[in-house]
Amino acid sequence: MPARIAIRVSVSERRGPSEPLYSREVISANNRLRSLALAVGALSTAAGIGVAVAANHRAFQRRVTTSSVTLTETLPVHSLWWRTRAKDKGELLYAVIGDSAAQGIGATSPHRGYVGILADQIALTTGRTVRVVNLSVSGATVELAVRDQLPKFVKFTPDIVTVAIGANDIALWDAEVFEAGIRTLFAALPPHALVADLPCFHLPRNERMVAVANRIIRDVAAEHHLTVVPLHATTKRLGLRSIATHVAGDLFHPNNRGYRAWAEAFLPALGADLDRRIRPADTGSPDASAGPAGTATGGAADAPAGPAGHPSPASATPDSTLNTGGVGGPS
């Protein structure tokens, strides 16, 4: 390479026997070579960084894809777990309408989703055993919940009801379809049902649709005097960094920590509802141990009808048994 570069060197003037005085052309050529070397080095470095970034991005995409596949494989596991749990008997009946979040997809076990956390809190607060009928179906939209879950729900007379549905509607957003489904669903709920608004998606485009959805949820809930759980405000406070700390590997479903945050959004309204309507079990009373552990002692089906055609809550008949008929779980 040096042999191909013609550099004129003037040696006509010397300061000493071994000290040639280079001409301006020589200095200019050296500067150009130095600049070329720096440019080549910079390009090589940039190329190296680009390759590393591309490799890391591909590895990241593979991890997300692998996590998504892994979570998909848990869908039947969680569904079976909740169907089995629905056969348990309990003094209180907790019914759930929702999607994969209600199934606990993304948690290390179904019970570590927000529904399991709330069920534990209900038992702890009331001192009563709890039967959970989780009607949720992974992938459900509001329209699908009305079609698949609501017909099963109306067969029960639950003491506690939570509804968290609508996140899947954002992908194919249609405000009219969403509102029609919400109106049908909320009209069938008892007045003590707790309905959550949609969680924070953090991305501006999605958040614009979420804002419309949550306005619909609040307006229709107000018409039916239902309590709205501030899930959006709770998850928004966690900030964008929560994607790294509160979200599962598929970057969509909550993880264990994320579901604890969801449960925390429900707990104030749930606690107030339990205090208002359901009398804690009197463990010192002979009646409290009249039946087998975890078994109710009366019949909720015989309770007087309350608003919206539902029987009065358990507080009206504290010794009554709840409907313990079977239920088809999510498919």
Print pLDDT tens along the chain (331 aa).
Answer: 445 544 444 444 444 555 444 455 545 655 565 565 556 566 655 555 555 445 565 664 665 566 557 667 778 889 999 999 999 999 999 999 999 999 999 999 999 999 999 999 999 999 999 999 999 999 999 999 999 999 999 999 999 999 999 999 999 999 999 999 999 999 999 999 999 999 999 989 999 999 999 999 999 999 999 999 999 999 999 998 888 899 988 878 999 999 999 999 999 999 999 999 998 987 554 444 333 333 333 333 333 333 333 333 333 333 333 333 333 333 3
Q: What is the pLDDT of residue 281?
A: 84
- The reply to whether 299 falls in a domain is yes
CA–CA separation, 206 and 195 (whole Å) = 21
- The reply to whether 197 falls in a domain is yes
- The reply to whether 321 falls in a domain is no
- The reply to whether 50 falls in a domain is no
**Domain tally, the chain:** 1
- The reply to whether 68 falls in a domain is no
> Chain centroid to CA 37: how far?
52
Read off φ and ψ for residue 247, nearest 5 degrees: -120, 145
Q: Which residues pair with 214 in a beta bridge?
A: none
CA–CA separation, 143 and 165 (whole Å) = 10
CA–CA separation, 261 and 222 (whole Å) = 24
Q: Which long-range contacts (CB under 8 A, 24 or more apart) does 280-283 make?
A: 280/125, 280/126, 280/127, 280/128, 281/91, 281/126, 281/127, 281/128, 283/127
The domain in which residue 268 lies consists of 73-316
- The reply to whether 23 falls in a domain is no
Q: Is 134 helix (H, G, I), strand (E, B) or coil?
A: strand
- The enclosing domain of 78 has a CATH number of 3.40.50.1110
Residues in the chain: 331
Comparing CA positions, the residue from 116, 114, 118, 169 lying closest to residue 146 is 169
Element (H, E) at 162: strand 160-164
Can you list the positions of beta strands (E) in 165-226?
A: 194-196
Q: What residue has token string 């969801």?
A: 262
Token duo for residue 166 = 């609508």
Angle between helices 256-277 and 114-126 (to 10 degrees): 30
- The reply to whether 40 falls in a domain is no
Q: For the chain, first and last CA: distance in Å?
A: 72
pTM value? 0.68
CB 95 within 8 A of CB 313: no
> Chain centroid to CA 290: how far?
41
Q: Is 281 helix (H, G, I), strand (E, B) or coil?
A: coil
